[in-house]
Amino acid sequence: MPIRGTYGRQNRFMKDFRLFNIYDFLMDEDFIRWVKERRKEDNDFWNNW
């Protein structure tokens, strides 16, 4: 099961998003930031993932 908590953008690469369920994504700060702010670096990451 994925570890939930506060992570910086650098640490998102340590998360195994393949194991996430919908709740995990809804609670993940990196995913939330991507949805709300649409930063280029976040957009690049999620589009390539």
- pLDDT, tens only, 7-28: 444 455 578 999 999 999 999 9
pLDDT at 11: 52
Is it the case that residue 1 has pLDDT exceeding 70?
no
Is it the case that residue 5 has pLDDT exceeding 50?
no
Helix (H) or strand (E) holding 41: helix 40-48
* pTM given for the model: 0.62
What is the distance in angstroms between the CA of the first residue and the CA of the last residue of the chain? Answer: 19
pLDDT at 28: 94
- Per the structure block, which two tokens stand in for 6? 């506060």
For 26, residues 6+ apart whose C-beta sits below 8 A from its C-beta are 32
Question: For the chain, what are the domain ranges?
Answer: 9-48
What value does the mean pLDDT take over residues 36-41? 93
- Per the structure block, which two tokens stand in for 25? 């994504």
- Each as own residue / partner, the long-range contacts of residues 25-29 (CB below 8 Å, 24 or more positions apart, any chain) are 28/4
